[in-house]
Amino acid sequence: MQKCIKLAQKSAGRVSPNPLVGAVIFDDDLRIISQGRHEYYGGNHAERNAILTATEDLKGKSIIVNLEPCSHYGKTPPCADLIIERGIKRVISGMVDPNPKVSGRGHELLRQAGIEVIEGVLEEECLELNKFFVKNQTKNLPYIAVKTAVTLDGRIATKTHQSKWITDEASRAQVQKLRNAYDAILTGSGTIKYDNPSLTCRMKGGRNPVRVVLDTNLSTDENSKVYADDGAKVIIITGENVSKSRIKQYASHIKIEKCRIRDGIIDIEEAVKILYETGIRSIMTECGGLLNKSIIEAKLADELIQFVAPKILGDESAKGFAEGFHRSEIKECNKLKIVSTKVLKNDIIIKSRFDYTGNK
Ligand code: AOF
Ligand code: ZN
């Protein structure tokens, strides 16, 4: 299963809105016969690729795959049918497919055909691998990670908005990997004005995410780096009242979407729905504390990715990662569950998940 997960991860950023899937076929002596992964949206599923590349008879062999084989006709015919047809005797899967069109039917079809099915192997790891897909299928919303680079005391910038650089190059290289995996990077007008980032992916072999700027009054400079026509898509989400003449000042490759305003700023819930409708299934923020706060308060955040640098900024008026976020009682804190921690060169990455099952 770990091999399936590794294979699947090679397709990170390439298969959205589909899941990341890897499959391995082996015999009773655990000799690997073939392997495959889902490589691009609309392409063959992992199981089909593994089956079609095998150069020997698959009768009596086993297949292991991190997601339940599908039972429906989508862009491709059902994998369960092909597995049955080739006489495979055992299917080992990591998790049930949350897609309502499948959702247990794949496993059932296989069992009805007399195939041994073992489910839930490394289930937690498989769920983590396909966290975007699970969120999309169960909530019809994009998966959202709030990403921050913070000092040990949780500051993201000085009071004069200096933030370059809190974390070191090793951390920033990891950010490039994340940009490769998420459909979109979300930022706000403040970050464009103070930092002027390009938000492209400079990882070797990587691909650019869609860059999304929330800009209530279309006040960002049209010549900001993020708006460069460098092949990466750009969407600006702006207020419903901005003028046509102002919109025309932006280059034609930039898509401008109007959105409802709430309390003087873009209504974040509406903005996220607009992005989902345009096909964006996963979002990582790279923004200031105000936007982070709005996302967390609206319970839209699934994950917090913190790059923590061993520095202390300390000044009361320095910028916090979720500006204006207040809890007056300990019992009111948002509680998160740590998913992983990793020590890089000088910094630590802490990934944790929000839990909305209680009242927070
Ligand atoms: C994938 N890759 O390896 C597996 C998937 O439109 P289709 O035919 O590509 O079907 C997509 C659905 O198939 C997807 O939502 C999921 O439920 C199931 N399994 N999908 O893209 C794969 N095994
Ligand atoms: Zn399939």
Active site residue 47: yes
Instruction: Judge contact between 334 and 300, C-beta under 8 A.
Output: no
Q: Of 130, 159, 189, which residue constitutes the final position of a domain?
A: 130
Percent of the chain scored above 90 by pLDDT? 88
245-292 tens-digit pLDDT: 999 999 999 999 999 999 999 999 999 999 999 999 999 999 999 999
CA of 298: how far to CAs of 143, 246, 267, 325, in Å?
14, 30, 10, 12
Residues with CB under 6 A from ligand 1: 18-19, 21, 38, 45-46, 67, 70, 74-76, 79, 97, 99, 102
Tokens of 319: 């910028």
| Mean pLDDT, residues 136-156 taken together | 96
- C-alpha–C-alpha distance, residues 355 and 155, integer Å: 23
The set of residues, in sequence order, having a beta carbon less than 8 Å from that of 84 and lying 6+ positions away, is: 109, 110, 113, 115
The answer to whether residue 71 is domain-embedded is yes
Note whether 334 and 192 are same-domain residues.
Answer: yes
Is a pLDDT exceeding 70 seen at residue 7? yes
Note whether 80 and 181 are same-domain residues.
Answer: no
Percent of the chain scored above 70 by pLDDT? 99
Q: Determine the 3-state secondary structure of 257 from DSSP.
A: strand
Ligand 1 site-directed mutation target among 48, 70, 92, most atoms within 8 Å of CB: 70
pLDDT of residue 159: 87
Sheet order of strands, 116-118 included: 32-37, 22-26, 62-65, 90-93, 116-118
Ligand 2 center from residue 267 Cα (angstroms): 37
- C-alpha–C-alpha distance, residues 76 and 51, integer Å: 14
Q: Of 130, 163, 182, which residue constitutes the final position of a domain?
A: 130
Is a pLDDT exceeding 50 seen at residue 357? yes
The answer to whether residue 135 is domain-embedded is no
Selection from 51, 91, 88 nearest residue 68 by Cα: 91
pLDDT of residue 316: 74
Ligand 1 center from residue 26 Cα (angstroms): 22
Note whether 151 and 246 are same-domain residues.
Answer: yes
| Mean pLDDT, residues 155-177 taken together | 91
210-231 tens-digit pLDDT: 999 999 999 999 999 999 998 8
- The stretches of 97-221 forming alpha helices (DSSP H) are 105-112, 123-129, 131-139, 169-181, 189-195
- C-alpha–C-alpha distance, residues 51 and 128, integer Å: 26
The answer to whether residue 225 is domain-embedded is yes
Please name the residue whose Cα sits nearest to atom 14 of ligand 1: 18
The answer to whether residue 251 is domain-embedded is yes
The set of residues, in sequence order, having a beta carbon less than 8 Å from that of 174 and lying 6+ positions away, is: 307, 344, 349
Note whether 194 and 268 are same-domain residues.
Answer: yes
Instruction: Judge contact between 117 and 107, C-beta under 8 A.
Output: yes
| Mean pLDDT, residues 92-108 taken together | 97
Beta bridge partners of 149: 307
Is a pLDDT exceeding 60 seen at residue 359? no
Note whether 207 and 123 are same-domain residues.
Answer: no
108-117, 255-264, 324-333: lowest mean pLDDT where?
A: 324-333
Note whether 236 and 152 are same-domain residues.
Answer: yes
Note whether 119 and 176 are same-domain residues.
Answer: no
Is a pLDDT exceeding 60 seen at residue 360? no
Is a pLDDT exceeding 80 seen at residue 315? no
Share the mean pLDDT of the chain: 95
Is a pLDDT exceeding 90 seen at residue 358? no
Is a pLDDT exceeding 90 seen at residue 180? yes
Note whether 157 and 68 are same-domain residues.
Answer: no
Q: Which atom of ligand 1 is nearest to the CA of 49?
A: 3
Domain count, the chain: 2
The answer to whether residue 196 is domain-embedded is yes
- Intra-chain end-to-end CA distance of the chain, in Å: 34
Tokens of 312: 């202390």
**In which domain, by residue range, is 304 found?**
141-355
Residue 109 maps to which CATH number? 3.40.140.10
Note whether 304 and 182 are same-domain residues.
Answer: yes
- C-alpha–C-alpha distance, residues 205 and 5, integer Å: 19
